[in-house]
Structure 1
Amino acid sequence: MKALAGALVLGMAAVASAAQAGTTLVGGGATLPALGYGGDVTNRQITPISGSFLGAYSAVSGNPQVSYCQTGSGAGKNILAGAAGNNVQNSCAGLAVGTPTPTGFGAPAAGRSDLVRPNFAGADAPLSLTEFNTYVSNVSSLPVQQPVIAGSVAIAFNNPDIGSLDLTEEQVCGVFSGAITNWSDLAPGATGKITVVYRSDGSGTTFAFSNHLSQVCAAQGANHFVTDQAFTTVDSLFGLPSGSVGQSGNPAVATFVANNPGTIAYVESANAGALLSQYATINGLDPFANFGGSPVTISSSDVVYNQAINGADANGRPVLASMSGTSPTSTCIALVKPDAYATQPAGTYPIVAISYFLANSANNGSDLTAVRNLMWAPYNTAITANAGTPGAPVQTVGPFTGLSFLNNTTANQTKLNACMN
């Protein structure tokens, strides 16, 4: 993960923690940034290592250890909201291919059998209006949402006939709509049927990928991609490509592709780099070498407050709607407009996700200061400077990162702290 070197950071304050000694913050959710967050995604429930972002957070005096369960963005938000069947105390199940998506963050394994609510969640898709309403209904307070990092989404593949693969945007659109079904249509000398692998869980990676597809792919008659965190909805007007396979979590998708020739998938770049030897460029642009910015800058005009995703319009583009019961002046629920990153500047890799931290506005108890520090950590140079040097890997991931902190010009620590009690 790239360090936030030289970023403008507003409202910096010294880090201190009133959390009880020996406690662990418990969270989980998005798998896209998990390698950067924890440095080791071997297990679904991550204990962050030295040099990772969460490891660097814990290394700062007074901050506790963190446990992070890779559930995917949709499940992470459901667990934070206590949606039916979800609870922080439920097991964080194994990461093997085919393992069901967890309904909990495995709090007992982290020594936190006392928790009623998770301390935080990670998501690459911002809150939908339905998810917001579920949270308010179950928790009787408001969530907090803060953009954390950006990550590129790679097109991973496995084809022994191909040494390298450079796709056009039109070919990406064709493969994932099911219009292109044979490898011979993608590369000279390649043969056989293309098997598309997609995220079967509620996925922020899917949201980011579909945010790009719905923007750049021309409609095919009445059919077009729909921006959503469920790929079955994204492809609903086309129908899933014939023979496609769903897997839960970025690591499971990458592992499935690595073990099955003829497959192709969208997957968070760091997982593609760590687990796969083959990934495509798009119009000659590499998801690592041409991933733009360190940090990625989010302008004030691209951030809105107290708005949520409310489905998609007639062209498949995400619609924003105001949240009821939130103060119009509050900066506690921040959302980066999907239009702001659906495409990227010329010369930079085109498919990018924005990832968020979510927390509880109320009832944080003795963990309050630690949670405040965690939510501000992506903008705290005392922490980010120790989460890898610019362009360097988080552990032994070769030259691959595909993640960057944000220079969010609207971020303010004092205002963020006031959001939580």
Structure 2
Amino acid sequence: MNTTSLRRALVPGITAAALALSISACGAANEQNSGSEGEGTLSGTIKGGGSSAQEKAQAAWVAGIQDANPDLSVVYEPVGSGSGREGFATGGYLFGGTDAALNDDEGELTKAKEQCGGDPIQVPAYVSPIAVVFNVEGVDELNLDAKTLAGIFSGKITKWNDPAIAATNPDAELPDSAITPVHRADDSGTQENFTEYLAAAGGWAEEPDGEWPASIEGGEGGDGTSGVVTAMQGAGYIGFVDASAATENDLATVKVKVGEDFVEPTPEAAAKILAASKSVGTSDSDMAVEVARDTTEAGVYPVVLVTYLLACPTYENAEDAANIKGYLEYILSEEGQEAAAEEAGSAPLDRETADKALELVGAIK
């Protein structure tokens, strides 16, 4: 058995999900976004919102282009993926960020088509591992498989020295103490992706969803990524957050069992899953994929989210169209992808995927 370890802790002081990220921005002006407006020509304000997991990446993207167009202001509100999709579909946001693809489960896609006057553009922004984090006194490494994770978050495994946990951690001194699982209290794309993994690979009996099942008793809910981070300061707690919310320290990430290996939640391991995933886009402008969460390929980390950008193909205001187009082209450029990787620990898109996304974004009018 191949095991590896990665020690991480949660970053304290992450802002509340409703707090807007509002900083000056500029248009993209490099070799990767040839369709964008020229340097220094973008001005005005564009407002978007959604995924709180995108908050760090959005900050990096805005900072990365602000010098070229100081008269452009980008406002991004990390209110959660569900609220972001709803805001985009109803016209509250000119662009959106979501960790779960826009679909018609709740009529969001239909609303977005009506708002946009046609099929909305949905392109991947990056791939990111979802880190399972825990806080157990005396334990700084932990191996968990999908079935055990499903048992913990469904409330069926309640003690840290449960035989299922002990079986994959024979050398750990597991305490006879209660497990407190932490989930998201809001409608979360990260949560939807996590429960999809539990269902596909761990036998999770509930329907995967961005909202936590009301039928599951126990545990605690945190509002946004910051709420989970705050709750995780308690001993005996276990939760899940986008990897950008974790950094080096005494709290460890959980290793996830894939095949015969336990794999760390690294960007490189997360990015490998796209090769095994299939397209489920509903139109030519939709690049949504169905992640192969039940893969058994060694070295692949399956607890991931593919985070998306949402935009309309046309905007009534020419300035809005130019600004959205320039901003999204920068995000998808090599420079933008590297900026997100450095700031948020995400895996950059491969160039074939990014080029296809750039073609769609470049057609915004």
TM, length-normalised to structure 1: 0.67
Alignment of 1:283-362 (within 5 A): 283=257, 284-288=262-266, 291-293=269-271, 298=274, 302-305=278-281, 307=282, 331-339=284-292, 341=293, 343=295, 345-362=297-314
| 1:138-164 deviation line (CA, Å, top 9, x unaligned) | 565442211110010111112223232
Which residue in 2 is equivalent to 1:247?
222
Which residue in 2 is equivalent to 1:231?
212
CA distance in 2, matches of 1:26, 1:173: 37
The 1:300–1:360 alpha-carbon spacing in structure 2 relative to 1, beyond 3 Å, is: farther
CA distance in 2, matches of 1:409, 1:344: 25
Alignment of 1:130-279 (within 5 A): 130-137=107-114, 140-185=117-162, 186=165, 188-218=173-203, 224-232=205-213, 239-240=215-216, 242-258=217-233, 260-273=234-247, 277-279=251-253
Which residue in 2 is equivalent to 1:379?
332
Residue 289 (structure 1) shift: 7.4
Contact 1:181 1:194 (C-alpha < 8 Å) held by counterparts: yes
What's the secondary structure of 1:153's corresponding residue? strand
Alignment of 1:2-151 (within 5 A): 13=34, 15-17=36-38, 22-38=43-59, 52-60=60-68, 64-82=72-90, 88=92, 118-129=93-104, 130-137=107-114, 140-151=117-128
The 1:342–1:26 alpha-carbon spacing in structure 2 relative to 1, beyond 3 Å, is: farther
Which residue in 2 is equivalent to 1:282?
256
CA distance in 2, matches of 1:176, 1:184: 16
Residue 272 (structure 1) shift: 2.8
CA distance in 1, matches of 2:228, 2:273: 29
- Give the aligned length: 319
The 1:383–1:152 alpha-carbon spacing in structure 2 relative to 1, beyond 3 Å, is: closer
Which sections of structure 1, spanning at least 5 residues, go unmatched? 1-9, 39-51, 89-117, 308-329, 395-400
CA distance in 2, matches of 1:255, 1:18: 41
| 1:127-146 deviation line (CA, Å, top 9, x unaligned) | 12121123335565442211
Query: Which of 342, 361, 364 matches 1:416?
Result: 361
Return structure 1 stretches of 4+ with deviation > 6 angstroms. none
CA distance in 1, matches of 2:57, 2:328: 16
Residue 290 (structure 1) shift: 6.2
Which residue in 2 is equivalent to 1:319?
none
CA RMSD of aligned residues (A): 3.2
| 1:351-393 deviation line (CA, Å, top 9, x unaligned) | 11100000123325112122112223333124445x17x7xx4
Residue 58 (structure 1) shift: 3.1
Which residue in 2 is equivalent to 1:4?
none
Residue 288 (structure 1) shift: 2.9
Residue 22 (structure 1) shift: 4.8
What's the secondary structure of 1:196's corresponding residue? strand
CA distance in 2, matches of 1:139, 1:21: 22
Q: Which amino acid aligns with 2:313?
A: S
Which residue in 1 is equivalent to 2:26?
none
CA distance in 1, matches of 2:264, 2:78: 26
CA distance in 2, matches of 1:19, 1:226: 48
Which sections of structure 2, spanning at least 5 residues, go unmatched? 1-30, 167-172
CA distance in 1, matches of 2:322, 2:346: 27
What's the secondary structure of 1:184's corresponding residue? coil
Contact 1:203 1:229 (C-alpha < 8 Å) held by counterparts: yes
The 1:300–1:282 alpha-carbon spacing in structure 2 relative to 1, beyond 3 Å, is: closer
Q: Which amino acid aligns with 1:209?
A: F
Q: Which amino acid aligns with 2:182?
A: V
CA distance in 2, matches of 1:57, 1:137: 31
Q: Which amino acid aligns with 1:353?
A: L
The 1:159–1:225 alpha-carbon spacing in structure 2 relative to 1, beyond 3 Å, is: same
Taking every aligned residue pair, what percent have the same amino acid on both sides? Answer: 23
